[in-house]
């Protein structure tokens, strides 16, 4: 982990060391370095995801620099903490723009991505959302782009798959009453209905809740043949456990938050048949991903939390380096405006882990969706949609 | 869609899940009653309790009963430290109620932060699995967690109430709660009573957290968010009234869960705040049962009582 991460975590000792490092390092390298920002949750309830994603991005930056950087100039990443909280995200991005003066920054978590969008637009600095999937991210303004497929893609895929390939007619949607939940539930409902299905129950639950009996009983009474759950990592296992306890044996679909090995461990047999989406190839699909996961196991002693997200974070610096390289070739100053122009001019990028990435003019991105299912106590690939 | 099965199922599950809420509320109410401390540091004790059980089961791989014993021992030790190092020192310096509250709040935030450093922010549970098998009684699903949880809660409450009613020490506690200085004049060791009170609250919290952590995932900040419920139940139940706090916790839980049958599910989370608001504005002394005969004789003490109470409520 870079010393800068410790700096934002508020450890005064580390901060003092970092201040010294920055003072001595900045003077020497400021002219030759291409810099971009990374604003992720390093503390707070989402930090275990956030920290792994930052680590992935840091690996990529280190490798890019080892391979010569951007035409021999160093690629530098400035990491700040958002706690996945819009308010703190705004502070972080303000600092990235006005103090660090980066032309582009990466951030994630829908609430933060939306909250900082006006700042990016006003200052003409490119905001790359890498990991947030709320559909409204496509409409946040000229300077906000995503490299991560929006909920439109994975929720659409899973809804369509249930209605057409699995032949389900009646779906129930259970979702967390927060940004990610409500927007995605809406999309699922629209797509499933358009594909000829019917949504028979539509139930929200409070982010603080630990008991979901009421909602699930309403679902049970509606007698669906498919249940879609749109929750967060912390509540998803508990909701599924209660579903099974209350005798809801229907197949359960969810999205990338459910796709992690711990879910299977926590639920045992109750996890069977749970379908999740993954927006990046797994270790079985690609040699590079296999090596990448092996590196995690070797260096950290475990697989990353939320593997697909970390793959996208690993890829993002490569895309940024590509754009900087083009600007450097054309001898254009790395401003936010030039960065955006060059990014759109290139349009398509070939990235190491998640493969081809095409930025749409409508601020979305085109990527295949992998459907994963728990079978025999393990996540297995069920289908690939839109390859 | 409203039928008997659904109603009974909601009633049963909310009754079962209210078990830990009851323990947290009674622990909070007990400390407030006897020591007059608005003990937000209970969140810290909860965090200590959970992670000591978590470490014993998941890292040391000891059996459940050993985890429970270790958890209880560490929780009591933490409670002991809180009273002897924290509260007693503050008491000796004669600091204000507000200052003690700020201290307890700081302790809970500090412990949450330490837990975050030590255990990360991935949600954890005591046992690797949180799935409890169910038995159908009629059409009501009763999970293997429900009965032991309710049983443990009843046992803890029975122990507490018989201790307070039938033992000398328990009566001293009531005496100190009524008027610490007067109790001291009668030869009651105030210092000892305060310690016993905080330890008993620690034991209640430990059992509550064991129940919670075997059913739902816990984050370092979970203790803090659970406190709101305990405080609401204590205020609604009537400050100084332990049975009231317990009953309020059950009723709040049941109302919150069954509310979904009549209001849109998005509004469910708001209910607790509505109750808290109503309680503070309209029933600052709780929904009290008419007092027993002692009332007349204790009228003067009530005045002093209420001053403390309103001071404490201002900080919710």
Chain A residues lying within 8 Å of B123, measured CB to CB = 45, 233-234
What is the extent of the structural domain holding A75? Answer: 32-149+288-353
- Block residue for tokens 């949180």: B130
pLDDT tens digit string along A318-361? 999 999 999 999 999 999 999 999 999 999 999 999 888 888 77
**pLDDT over 70 for what percent of chain B?**
89
Q: Please give the average per-residue pLDDT across B283-290, as a whole number.
A: 64
Interface test mutation site (partner A, options B123, B209, B224, max chain A beta carbons within 10 A): B123
In a domain, A25, yes or no: no
Contact A46 B121 (CB under 8 A): yes
Rounded distance between C-alpha atoms, residue A362 and residue B75, angstroms: 56
Chain A: nearest CA to B220, how far in angstroms? 8
Residue of B130, B232, B255 best to disrupt the A interface, most CBs of A under 10 A: B130
Residue of chain A with shortest Cα separation from B267: A206
Together in a domain, A193 and A44: no
- The stretch B301-311 carries a mean pLDDT of 44
Partners of residue A238 in chain B, C-beta under 8 Å: 130, 215-217
List CB contacts of A338: < 8 A, sequence separation 6 or more. A103, A327, A332
Q: Which of B1, B121, B221 sits opposite A48 (nearest CB)?
A: B121
Instruction: Report residue B308's pLDDT band, with 50, 70 and 90 as the boundaries.
Output: very low
For residues B28-64, b (16+ Cβ closer than 10 Å) or e, as one string? Answer: bbbbbbbbbbbbbbbbbbbbbbbbbbbbbbeeeebee
> Could you give the C-alpha distances from B231 to B33, B251, B258, in angstroms and in order?
13, 14, 21
Cβ-Cβ pairs closer than 8 A, A with B, add up to 107
Whether residue A374 is found in the same domain as residue A348: no
pLDDT tier for residue A307 given thresholds of 50, 70 and 90? confident
Contact A215, A255 (CB under 8 A): no
Question: In terms of domains, do A130 and A181 share one?
Answer: no
Which among A210, A213, A270 has the least Cβ separation from residue B10?
A: A213
Residues in A closer than 8 angstroms to B263, CB to CB, are: none
A215 and A128 fall within a common domain: no
Q: Could you tell me if A203 and A219 are in contact, meaning their C-beta atoms sit under 8 angstroms apart?
A: yes
Across the interface, do A235 and B217 touch by the CB < 8 Å criterion?
yes
State the pLDDT at residue A31. 52
| SS3 state at B214 | coil
Asked whether residue A302 is domain-assigned, the answer is: yes
Residue B4 confidence (pLDDT): 85
Please report residues of B whose CB lies closer than 8 A to that of A11. none
pLDDT of the residue at B301: 45
What does each C-alpha distance from A104 to A321, B245, B316 come to in angstroms? 11, 54, 43
CA distances from B150 to A312, B71, B212, B216, B252 (A): 46, 20, 12, 16, 16
Q: Is the predicted pLDDT of residue B279 greater than 90, yes or no? A: no
Q: Which of A215, A233, A267 sits opposite B265 (nearest CB)?
A: A215
Q: Are residues A127 and A177 located together in one domain of the fold? A: no
> Domain extents for chain B?
4-313
Query: How deeply is A369 buried, as exposed, middle or buried, from its count of CB atoms within 10 A (0-12, 13-18, 19+)?
Result: buried
Report the DSSP pairing between strands A198-205 and A348-351.
Answer: unpaired
Closest residue in B to A177 (Cα) is: B266
Per-residue pLDDT at B305 exceeds 50 = no
Q: Which residues contact B279 (CB under 8 A, 6 or more apart)?
A: B232, B235, B236, B286
What total number of domains does chain A contain? 2
* pLDDT tens-digit readout, B215-248: 988 989 899 889 988 998 998 888 888 999 999 9
What pLDDT sits at residue A387?
A: 56
Please give the structure tokens belonging to residue B247.
């009953």
How far does the CA of residue A136 sit from the closest CA of chain B (Å)? 20
Neighbour order of strands in the sheet with A378-385: A198-205, A170-176, A226-230, A252-253, A274-278, A369-375, A378-385
Q: Indicate the pLDDT class of residue B159, thresholds 50, 70 and 90.
A: very high
Nearest by CB to B10, which of A203, A209, A217? A217
Is residue A362 domain-resident? no
Q: Could you tell me if A296 and A204 lie in one domain?
A: no
Out of B116, B217, B225, name the one closest to residue A237 (CB). Answer: B217
Pairing of strands B140-143, B134-137: antiparallel
Percent of chain A topping pLDDT 90: 62
Give the per-residue pLDDT at A12: 54
Name the residue among A45, A217, A245 with its Cβ closest to that of B221: A45
Residue B74, pLDDT above cutoff 60? yes
Whose CA is closest to A385, among A154, A166, A146, A135?
A154
> A37: how many CB neighbours lie within 10 A of its CB?
25
CB contacts of A43 in chain B (<8 Å) are 116, 121
Q: Categorize the per-residue pLDDT at A279 as very low, low, confident or very high, splitting at 50, 70 and 90.
A: confident
pLDDT greater at residue B36 or residue A385: B36
Q: State the nearest Cα–Cα gap between A262 and chain B, in angstroms.
A: 9
pTM of the model: 0.73
CATH 1.10.10, domain B4-313, yes or no: no
Q: Summarize pLDDT for A183-241 with one digit per residue, the tens.
A: 889 999 999 999 999 999 999 998 888 889 989 999 999 999 999 999 988 889 999 99
Contacts of B260 in chain A (CB under 8 A): 203, 214-215, 218
B105-133 per-position pLDDT tens digit: 999 999 999 998 888 777 889 998 888 98
Q: What is the mean pLDDT of chain B?
A: 87
In a domain, A198, yes or no: yes
Q: What is the pLDDT of residue B1?
A: 54
Residues A377, A248 within the same domain: yes
CA distance B46 to chain A (A): 16
Do A43 and B121 lie within an 8 Å CB cutoff? Answer: yes
Residue A267 to chain B, least CA–CA distance (Å): 5
Q: Which residues of B6-16 are buried (b: 16+ CB within 10 A; e: fewer)?
A: beebbebbbbb
In whole angstroms, what is the distance from residue A293 CA to residue A264 CA? 19
For B220, name the nearest residue in chain A, comparing CA atoms only: A45
**HSE-up of residue B222 (Cα within 13 Å, Cβ side):** 27
pLDDT in tens, A119-151: 999 999 999 999 887 778 889 999 999 998 886
Domain identity same for A157 and A268? yes
Residue A108 has pLDDT above 60, yes or no: yes
Instruction: Work out the average pLDDT over A246-267.
Output: 89
Quote the pLDDT of residue B272.
81
Q: Report the sign of the C-alpha dihedral through residues B284, B79, B54, A45, in that order.
A: positive
Among B17, B122, B125, beta carbon nearest to A48:
B122
Strand-pairing partners, residue A372, are A276, A381
Is residue B26 within 8 A of residue B160, CB to CB? The reply is: yes
Q: Does A210 sit within 8 Å of B216, measured CB to CB?
A: yes
Please give the pLDDT value at position A61.
96
**Ramachandran region, residue A301 (left: φ > 0; alpha: ψ -120 to 50; beta: rest):** left
CB contact under 8 A, A45 and B265: no
Supply the pLDDT for residue A357. 86
Q: Which residues of B touch A216 (CB under 8 A)?
A: none
Residue A124 Cα, gap to closest chain B Cα (Å): 34
Closest by CA to B30, choosing from B245, B315, B305, is B245
Distance CA B9, CA B258 (A): 10
A336 and A315, same domain (yes or no) = yes
A247 and A160 together in one domain: yes
CATH number at residue A81: 3.40.50.2300
Kindly state whether residue A312 falls inside one of the protein's structural domains: yes
What does pLDDT average to over chain A?
Answer: 88
Q: What is the mean pLDDT of residues A262-283?
A: 87
Q: How far apart are the first and last CA of chain B?
A: 38
Same-domain pairing of A247 and A100: no
Residue A93 lies in a domain: yes
Q: CA nearest B272: which of B207, B223, B226?
A: B226
Residue B293 pLDDT > 90 = no
Cα–Cα distance, A303 to A295 (Å, whole number): 9
Whether A23 is in a domain gets the answer: no
In a domain, A13, yes or no: no
Among all residues of chain B, which has the CA nearest to that of A264? B129
Examine the domain organization and report whether A172 and A270 are in the same domain: yes
Question: B206-221: per-residue pLDDT in tens?
Answer: 999 999 999 988 989 8
C-alpha dihedral over B31, B34, B37, B40, to 10 degrees?
Answer: 10
Contacts of A375 (CB under 8 A, 6+ apart): A272, A273
């Amino acid at each position: 982990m870079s010393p800068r991460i410790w700096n934002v975590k508020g450890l005064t000792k580390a901060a003092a060391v970092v201040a010294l490092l920055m003072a001595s390092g900045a003077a020497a390298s400021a002219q030759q370095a291409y810099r971009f920002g990374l604003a992720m949750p390093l503390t707070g309830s989402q930090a275990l995801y956030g920290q792994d994603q930052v680590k992935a991005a840091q690996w990529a930056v280190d490798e890019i620099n080892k391979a010569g950087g951007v035409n021999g100039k160093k690629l530098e990443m400035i990491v700040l903490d958002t706690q996945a909280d819009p308010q703190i995200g705004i502070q972080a991005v303000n600092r990235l723009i006005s103090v660090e003066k980066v032309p582009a920054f990466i951030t994630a978590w829908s609430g933060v991505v939306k909250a900082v969008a006006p700042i990016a637009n006003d200052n003409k600095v490119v905001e790359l959302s890498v990991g947030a999937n709320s559909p409204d991210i496509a409409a946040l303004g000229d300077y906000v782009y995503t490299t991560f497929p929006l909920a439109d893609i994975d929720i659409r895929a899973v809804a369509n798959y249930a209605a057409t390939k699995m032949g389900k007619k009646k779906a129930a949607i259970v979702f967390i009453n927060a940004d990610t939940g409500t927007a995605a539930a809406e999309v699922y409902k629209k797509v499933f209905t358009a594909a000829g299905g019917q949504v028979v129950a539509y139930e929200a639950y409070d982010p603080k809740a630990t008991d979901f009996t009421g909602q699930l009983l309403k679902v049970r009474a509606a007698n669906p043949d498919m249940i879609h759950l749109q929750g967060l990592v912390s509540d998803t296992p508990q909701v599924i456990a209660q579903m099974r306890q209350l005798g809801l044996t229907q197949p359960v679909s969810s999205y990338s938050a459910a796709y992690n090995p711990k879910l299977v461990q926590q639920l045992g047999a109750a996890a069977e048949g749970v379908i999740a989406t993954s927006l990046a190839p797994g270790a079985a699909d690609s040699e590079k991903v296999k090596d990448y996961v092996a590196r995690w196991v070797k260096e950290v002693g475990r697989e990353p939390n939320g593997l697909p997200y970390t793959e996208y974070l690993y890829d993002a610096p490569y895309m940024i380096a590509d754009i900087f390289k083009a600007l450097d070739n054309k001898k254009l100053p790395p401003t936010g405006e030039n960065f955006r122009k060059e990014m759109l001019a290139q349009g398509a990028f070939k990235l190491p882990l998640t493969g081809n990435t095409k930025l749409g003019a409508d601020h979305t991105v085109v990527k295949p969706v992998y459907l994963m299912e728990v079978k025999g106590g393990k996540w297995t690939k069920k289908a690939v949609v839109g390859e | 869609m409203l039928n008997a099965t659904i109603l009974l199922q909601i009633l049963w599950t909310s009754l079962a899940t209210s078990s830990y809420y009851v323990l947290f509320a009674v622990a909070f109410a007990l400390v407030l009653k006897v020591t007059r401390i608005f003990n937000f540091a209970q969140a810290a004790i909860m965090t200590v309790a959970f992670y000591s059980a978590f470490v014993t089961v998941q890292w040391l791989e000891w059996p459940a009963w050993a985890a429970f014993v270790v958890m209880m021992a560490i929780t009591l030790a933490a409670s002991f430290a809180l009273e002897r190092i924290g509260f007693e020192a503050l008491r000796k310096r004669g600091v204000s109620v507000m200052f003690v509250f700020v201290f307890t709040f700081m302790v809970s935030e500090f412990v949450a932060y330490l837990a975050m450093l030590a255990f990360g922010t991935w949600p954890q549970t005591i046992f690797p699995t949180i799935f409890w098998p169910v038995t159908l009684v009629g059409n009501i699903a009763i999970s293997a967690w429900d009965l032991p949880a309710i049983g443990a809660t009843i046992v803890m409450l029975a122990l507490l109430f018989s201790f307070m009613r039938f033992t000398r020490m328990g009566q001293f506690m009531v005496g100190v709660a009524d008027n610490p200085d007067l109790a001291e004049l009668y030869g009651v060791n105030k210092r000892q009573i305060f310690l016993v009170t905080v330890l008993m609250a620690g034991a209640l919290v430990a059992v509550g957290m064991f129940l919670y952590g075997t059913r739902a995932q816990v984050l370092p900040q979970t203790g803090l968010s659970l406190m709101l419920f305990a405080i609401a139940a204590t205020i609604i139940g009537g400050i100084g009234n332990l049975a009231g706090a317990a009953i309020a916790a059950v009723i709040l839980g049941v109302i919150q869960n069954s509310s979904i049958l009549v209001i849109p599910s998005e509004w469910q989370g708001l209910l607790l705040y509505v109750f808290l608001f109503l309680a503070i504005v309209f029933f600052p002394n709780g929904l009290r049962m008419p007092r027993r005969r002692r009332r007349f004789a204790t009228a003067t003490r009530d005045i002093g009582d209420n001053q403390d109470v309103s001071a404490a409520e201002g900080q919710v």
